[in-house]
Amino acid sequence: MSQQWPRWQYQFRVIMLGDSTVGKSSLLRRYTEGVFLDAVNQTVGVDFYVQFVELEPGLRVKLQFWDTAGQERFRSVTRSYYRNSAGGMLLFDLTNRASFESVRQWHREVTDTVQPFRMVFLLVGHKSDLAGQRRVGRREAEKLAAALGVQYVETSAKDASNVVQAFQMLTVAIYQALQTGRLAATEACVHGSPRALQGGGECPYWFLNYFPQ
Ligand SMILES: Nc1nc2c(ncn2[C@@H]2O[C@H](COP(=O)(O)OP(=O)(O)OP(=O)(O)O)[C@@H](O)[C@H]2O)c(=O)[nH]1
Ligand SMILES: [Mg+2]
């Protein structure tokens, strides 16, 4: 019986954001499956991924990812997924200046949609392996991050640089925001049975584990 009970204490929904082709799906696949593909299909609507992390011994978090399509024509679909997310990865492509300039817009669109609720974001400069084609400097990216009040990291799905670190940074930031009350769960879910807790997908931010492990 006990093995059916959830093996994590928190569940955070995280949404991947940024222009089409910045590498959102590639970053997630590198993180969750350990693979990189040169040819990836553009995301249609929204895809779903899961990963577990242990922030400290015994403190396990289930990350539930919504990988949105960057293409404008899917915006009405992807917008409906913003709500109930605790975190957002704001990606731009270090070799694509326009994608950097879109970051503020992505941030604004999401914060406007979810208010009065808040989310924790991480700014990610992606494709750091393409150093020779770089069009966005680290300093200006750090400046944007500071203006948005978020942390900044540079990643590559191709050579796996900083991939685990980026997701760890966001997970820790969400956890700390919950601890300090900067982020509040809209609802702490109390289900009648371990099975309901395990299977329930309706909780907005996180599940508290009410059952002995
Ligand atoms: N060199 C390099 N290429 C990458 C990296 N990450 C992704 N790519 C490539 O960039 C292209 C677009 O990647 P996707 O992951 O599909 O981008 P996306 O942001 O999910 O795009 P949409 O689903 O349309 O929003 C693909 O050809 C990838 O192989 C990286 O770290 N380095
Ligand atoms: Mg995609």
Cα of 136 vs centre of ligand 1, distance in Å, is 17
Cα of 25 vs centre of ligand 2, distance in Å, is 4
Alpha helices in 36-84 (DSSP H): 75-79
- C-alpha–C-alpha distance, residues 93 and 97, integer Å: 8
Cα of 207 vs centre of ligand 2, distance in Å, is 27
Q: pLDDT band at 62, cuts 50/70/90? A: confident
Identify the sign of the CA torsion 17, 19, 25, 26.
negative
Which residue ranges make up each domain of the chain? 10-207
**Closest ligand relative to 18 C-alpha:** 1
Q: What are phi and psi of 79, to 5 degrees?
A: -60, -35
Ligand 1, pocket-test mutation among 28, 37, 40, most atoms within 8 A of CB: 40
Ligand 1 pocket check for 25: Cβ under 6 Å: yes
Atom of ligand 1 nearest to the CA of 67: 20
pLDDT higher than 80, residue 40: yes
Alpha helices in the chain (DSSP H): 24-33, 75-79, 97-101, 103-114, 138-148, 163-180, 194-199
More confident residue, 124 or 188: 124
If you take atom 11 of ligand 1, which residue's CA is the nearest one?
21
Q: Which of 2-16, 93-107, 190-204 has the lowest mean pLDDT?
A: 190-204
Cα of 71 vs centre of ligand 2, distance in Å, is 9
pLDDT value, residue 201: 46
- Picking from 39, 43, 101, 41, the residue whose alpha carbon sits closest to that of residue 72 is 43
**Closest ligand relative to 39 C-alpha:** 1
Which residues are close to ligand 2, an ion, with C-beta < 5 A? 24-25, 43
For 196, other C-beta atoms within 10 Å of its C-beta total: 11
The answer as to CATH 3.40.50.300 being correct for domain 10-207 is: yes
pLDDT value, residue 82: 85
Ligand 1 pocket check for 142: Cβ under 6 Å: no
pLDDT value, residue 120: 93
Q: What is the pLDDT of residues 84-140, one digit of tens each?
A: 788 999 999 999 999 999 999 999 999 998 887 788 999 999 999 999 999 999 999
pLDDT value, residue 185: 59
pLDDT value, residue 56: 87
Give the rounded percent of residues in the chain with a pLDDT score beyond 90. Answer: 56
If you take atom 22 of ligand 1, which residue's CA is the nearest one?
20
**Closest ligand relative to 40 C-alpha:** 1
